[in-house]
Amino acid sequence: MSTFTIVLLSITLVLIIAFVVLYFLGKKAQKKQEEQQEKLAAAAQNITMLIIDKKRMRLKEAGLPPIVLENTPKYLRRSKVPIVKAKVGPKIMTLMCEESVFPLIPVKKEVKAVVSGIYITGVKGLRGALETPVKKKGFFSRFKKDK
């Protein structure tokens, strides 16, 4: 055999092994995520709250309980997460929010939210529907003709 075919076979072998490993790691991560979603759904409760403020900030600056910081992996502690300050009953609470729900939350309005611990997983308008934000057009889509 020539050296070219040996190199080509070894590269394809390495790629096949890498794909198999990634496939099984992906299935394992998917199972873990499904279990976590089930736990969130089991602990979910509907709460009426007045949204005071919403921002993307680091966990250390957000004023969350220390146990949240301890349980967060080190590589995620400096990342910015969506934080919502809301008045729930007489208390003002700092809550985390899902990325998909964060743009829907109106500031200085009352909403009915699905909360699991300190994590907001869903939002509904208390008085009327929520305004959905207008999605910005991308750079190249501005130049395309609307049909």
Q: pLDDT band at 147, cuts 50/70/90?
A: low
Distances 10 to 17, 19, 22 between C-alpha atoms, Å: 11, 14, 18
pLDDT the model gives residue 76: 84
pLDDT at 146: 59
Average pLDDT over residues 11-26: 97
Contact 118, 81 (CB under 8 A): no
Q: For residues 42 and 38, give the distance between their C-alpha atoms in angstroms, rounded to a whole number.
A: 6
First to last CA, the chain: 58
pLDDT tens per residue across span 29-69:
999 999 988 988 888 899 999 999 999 999 888 888 888 88
